[in-house]
Amino acid sequence: MTNNRFDAERITRITITPVAFHDPPLLNAVGVHERWALRSIVQLTTESGITGLGESYGDEAHLRRLRHGADALIGADVFAVNSFRPLIRQALAADSGVGGHGMSGMVTGSSTEDRVLSPFDVAALDVQGKILRRPVTDLLGGAVRAAVPFSGYLFYKWAAHPGADGDIWGEALTTAGIVEQAKTMVADYGFDALKLKGGVRPPDEECAAIEALRAEFPDMPLRLDPNAAWTVQTSIEIGERLNGVLEYLEDPTPGLTGMAEVRRKAPMPLATNMCVVSFDDIAPAVDAGSVDIILSDHHFWGGLRRSQSLAAITETFDLGLSMHSNSHLGISLAAMVHLAAATPRLDYACDTHWPWKDPAEDVVVPGTLEFSDGAVPVPTGAGLGVELDEDALGRLHEQYVRCGQRDRDDTGYMQSIEPDFRPVTPRW
C-alpha cells in the first residue's frame, strides 16, 4: 500500500510592506487619481526559507486586515490553501474596523475575506511553484496560451497634478487628445483592443471619442466604461448610437436591475466589474439577466484558484469572461498573466493599467514582464517567475512613508474623502 502522507511545508513568516508609486492624473466618474497609488507587497516565507510574493491594495484599513490574516496563517501548510479562508474569516471576525479597500466608489460589496485571501493565495502558489520547479500556470492546470492579450486603456486626463511635473502622456480632455493617446498606446505596446474610461465628459462627447477611435482604427475592438455614471435611459440611447461600434459596453448604469433594463434594449453585450463582484452576486445577476460578461479580478475574487471557480461558473451560464484592473505593480501583472494563460475560455483582451505606471517604479526585477504585440508572454521561471528587487521595495516603501498621512488615510488611489465606499450615482 502506498503511503500518501507528506510532510507539511509550514508558513513561518509573512511580511507586508506598504508601498507608493506615482499615479498620473487620470479622470473617472468619481474624480481624479491621486498622485500616489498605494499597494501592499506580501512576502510569505516557509520553514525551508522559500519566499512567495503577493500584491494587494495599500489603504490603511486593508493593511490592518491583511495583518490579521497574515497572523492567522502562521503555521499553516503552504500547500493547504483551502485552509486559509476559514483561518482568515476567523481572524477578521475580531476586526471591528470599517472603511477602505482601494476601490473607492467603484466596487462596493466584494467580499472582505476574498480581498484579504487574494495576496496570500498568490504568494502560496508562488512558493509551491518554486518547490515543484513549475510555473504557477502549471499549478492552475497548464497554459492554454503562451501570451495573454491586453487592451489599451485610455483615460481623459489632466496634464499634471497641481504642483507636480507632467508626464509623457500630457493632457487628454478632448476627442483629439484621446485619439492621440490611443495612437501612442498602439504604437508603443501593439494593443489590438482599446477601452475608453468614460463617465467623465457628457455622454455625447464620449460617443464622439469612440466614433473618432473607430475612424482611426477601423478594425479595432472598442469598449466604453462610464463606471455607472449614466441613467438607464442614457445608457439605452448611447447603446443604440454605438450599435456595431462597441464590442461591449461596460457598467453603463448602477445595479443589477438597471443593468438588466439596459441589457433588454442595448444591441451590444454588457460587461461588469461593478455589479457582479462576488460569488453572492452571480445568481441574482443570472436571474435578472443583468450582464453578458464578467470582468474578473483576482484581487477581489479571492486569488487565482477562486478566480478559476468563477471561470467555471461563467462557462456554466454561458457568460463571457475577461479581466479588470486598477493601478498595480509587477507582482499583480505576473499573477494576472498566469491566471489568464491557464483560463481556457477567456473571451476578450484583459484590462491593465500597466502603461500608466512609470517603468522605473516597480518592485520586481525588470525583464520578465514585457509587452509584445499587445500581449505579455507567460513568465517561464518557477512560481510567478518574477524576482523581488529589495532595493526598489525599500524605495517605494520610503515613498509610502513620505507621501503623507492625508493620502494614506484616503482609499489608496482615488480622490475620495469618505471613510467607506462612495457609490457612483448617475450624472447623465
Q: Catalytic residue positions?
A: 197, 324
Ranked by CB distance to ligand GLR, the top (closest) residue is 28
Instruction: Considering the complex, state which of residue 19 and residue 271 has its C-beta at the smaller distance from ligand GLR.
Output: 271
What does the alpha-carbon distance between residue 314 and residue 322 come to, in Å, rounded to a whole number? 10
Measured over the CA atoms of residue 114, residue 116, residue 122 and residue 127, the dihedral's sign is negative
* Cell numbers for 3: 503511503
CB of 117 or CB of 228, closer to ligand GLR: 228
Cβ 15 vs Cβ 43: under 8 Å: yes
CA–CA distances in Å: residue 150 to residues 96, 194, 354: 39, 9, 10
CB within 8 Å of 233: residues ≥ 6 apart: none
The CB-of-163 to ligand GLR minimum distance in angstroms stands at: 21
Question: Closest separation between CB of residue 106 and ligand GLR, Å?
Answer: 4
By three-state DSSP, how is residue 257 classified? helix
DSSP string, 29-71: TTEEB-SEEEEEEEEEEETTS-EEEEEEE-SHHHHHHHHHHHH
Query: What is the rounded (10 degree) CA torsion for 315, 319, 325, 329?
Result: 10
Q: How far is the CB of 95 from ligand GLR (least distance, A)?
A: 25
Burial class (CB in 10 A: 0-12, 13-18, 19+), 316: exposed
User: Residue 326 CB, nearest distance to ligand GLR (Å)?
Assistant: 4
For ligand GLR, give the closer residue by CB, 125 or 270: 270
Of 29 and 311, which has the nearer Cβ to ligand GLR? Answer: 29
CB of 141 to ligand GLR, least distance (A): 26
Measured CA to CA, the distance from residue 22 to residue 403 in angstroms comes to 10
**Can you give the binding site for ligand GLR, defined by CB under 6 A?**
26, 28, 106, 197, 225, 227, 273, 324-326, 351
Nearer CB in complex with ligand GLR: 85/161: 161
- List Cβ neighbours of 304 (8 Å cut-off, separation of 6 or more): 121, 122, 125, 136, 140, 298, 335, 338, 339
